Structure 1
Amino acid sequence: AIAMSANVLPADPDVGELADRILGALLNEAELEPLPASDDSDALGAILDSEPVDLGGWLHLGEAWRVVYRSEAVNGNPIEVTGVIIAPAGSTDDSRPVLSITHGTTGLADDCAPSLGFPDDYTLGFIAPLLEQGWVVVATDYEGLGGPGLHPYIVGESEARGAFDIVRAAQKVPGLGADGPLVVWGHSQGGHAAMHVAERWTDLAPDLDLVGVAAGAPPSQFPLLSAFLQDGDFQGYLTMAGAGLAAAYDELDLEPLIAPEYEHLLDELENGCTGHIFEVFNPIPYEDLLTVDDIFALPEWNARLIENDTNQRPNEVPTIILHGDEDEQIPVVSSEAL
Structure 2
Amino acid sequence: MRKRLLPLLTAALLTGGLLSAPVPAVEATPNGERGSVLSTRDITDQADTTIAGAGRVIAVTYLSEDPTGKLVPVQGSVSIPKKAPGRGGYRLMAWNHSTTGLGDECGLSRELGTGGKRDPWLGPWLTDGYVLAATDYAGIGGPGEHAYLDGATAGKNVLDMLRAARTVVPRYSSHQASSSFVSFGGSQGGHTSLWAGHLAAQYAPELHPAGIIAHSVPTGLADYFATIAPGFPPAIVPDHLTYFTYVLAGLTQVRPDARVDSYLTPQGRRLVEQARHRCYAEQVQATRGISVGSLVTRPLADGPLIPALRDYARVPVRGYSSPVLIQQGMTDVVAFAPLTEGLVDQMRTAGVDVDYRRYPESHGLTTPRVHEARAWANGLTTWPRS
Confirm or deny a common fold (TM above 0.5): yes
Q: Which runs of 5 or more residues in structure 1 are unaligned?
A: 1-19
Question: Are 2:272 and 1:266 equivalent residues in the alignment?
Answer: yes
CA positional deviation for 1:217: 1.0
Give the whole-Å Cα distance in 1 for the aligned partners of 2:175 and 2:263.
Answer: 48
- Contact 2:249–2:273 (8 Å) recurs in 1: no
Deviates more, 1:259-268 or 1:75-84: 259-268
SS in 2 for 1:284: coil
**Equivalent in the alignment of 2:322:** 317
Q: Structure 1 residues 274, 60: CA separation in 2 closer, same or farther (over 3 Å shift)?
A: closer
Question: Are 2:333 and 1:328 equivalent residues in the alignment?
Answer: yes
- Contact 2:181–2:208 (8 Å) recurs in 1: yes
Superposition pairs of residues 51-62 of structure 1, within 5 angstroms:
51-55=41-45, 61-62=54-55
Q: Structure 1 residues 94, 70: CA separation in 2 closer, same or farther (over 3 Å shift)?
A: same
**Equivalent in the alignment of 1:195:** 194
Question: Are 2:73 and 1:80 equivalent residues in the alignment?
Answer: yes
**Equivalent in the alignment of 2:374:** none
State the Cα deviation string for residues 225-274 of structure 1 (Å, max 9, x = none): 43689632312211110101222345455333321244333342255322
Superposition pairs of residues 44-55 of structure 1, within 5 angstroms:
44-55=34-45
Superposition pairs of residues 78-227 of structure 1, within 5 angstroms:
78-89=71-82, 94-120=88-114, 121-173=116-168, 174=170, 175-226=174-225
Question: Are 2:37 and 1:41 equivalent residues in the alignment?
Answer: no
- Contact 1:152–1:243 (8 Å) recurs in 2: yes
Deviates more, 1:224-233 or 1:237-246: 224-233
Question: Are 2:250 and 1:244 equivalent residues in the alignment?
Answer: yes
SS in 2 for 1:306: helix
RMSD (Å) for aligned C-alpha atoms? 3.0
- Contact 1:170–1:176 (8 Å) recurs in 2: no
Question: Are 2:62 and 1:63 equivalent residues in the alignment?
Answer: no
- Contact 1:105–1:189 (8 Å) recurs in 2: yes
Q: Structure 1 residues 219, 28: CA separation in 2 closer, same or farther (over 3 Å shift)?
A: same
Q: Structure 1 residues 139, 276: CA separation in 2 closer, same or farther (over 3 Å shift)?
A: same
**Equivalent in the alignment of 1:305:** 310
- Contact 1:259–1:291 (8 Å) recurs in 2: yes
- Contact 2:135–2:158 (8 Å) recurs in 1: yes
Give the whole-Å Cα distance in 1 for the aligned partners of 2:156 and 2:316.
Answer: 18
Give the whole-Å Cα distance in 1 for the aligned partners of 2:20 and 2:33.
Answer: 34
Give the whole-Å Cα distance in 1 for the aligned partners of 2:167 and 2:54.
Answer: 21
Q: Structure 1 residues 196, 62: CA separation in 2 closer, same or farther (over 3 Å shift)?
A: same
Give the whole-Å Cα distance in 2 for the aligned partners of 1:133 and 1:239.
Answer: 39
Deviates more, 1:282-291 or 1:210-219: 282-291
Deviates more, 1:267-276 or 1:212-221: 267-276
Give the whole-Å Cα distance in 2 for the aligned partners of 1:31 and 1:87.
Answer: 13
Superposition pairs of residues 6-45 of structure 1, within 5 angstroms:
33-34=24-25, 36-45=26-35
Question: Are 2:299 and 1:293 equivalent residues in the alignment?
Answer: yes
- Contact 2:222–2:309 (8 Å) recurs in 1: no
Taking structure 1 as the reference length, the TM-score comes to 0.81
Code of the aligned partner of 2:272 = L
Give the whole-Å Cα distance in 1 for the aligned partners of 2:31 and 2:252.
Answer: 28
- Contact 2:246–2:272 (8 Å) recurs in 1: no
State the Cα deviation string for residues 28-74 of structure 1 (Å, max 9, x = none): 8965533x444543111111122211257868631111111100123
Give the whole-Å Cα distance in 1 for the aligned partners of 2:64 and 2:320.
Answer: 23
Give the whole-Å Cα distance in 2 for the aligned partners of 1:115 and 1:51.
Answer: 13
State the Cα deviation string for residues 158-180 of structure 1 (Å, max 9, x = none): 11011111000011233552233
Give the whole-Å Cα distance in 1 for the aligned partners of 2:290 and 2:253.
Answer: 23
Give the whole-Å Cα distance in 2 for the aligned partners of 1:274 and 1:208.
Answer: 32
Aligned-residue sequence identity (percent) comes to 25
SS in 1 for 2:340: helix
Deviates more, 1:128-137 or 1:251-260: 251-260
Deviates more, 1:125-134 or 1:157-166: 125-134
Give the whole-Å Cα distance in 1 for the aligned partners of 2:53 and 2:151.
Answer: 36
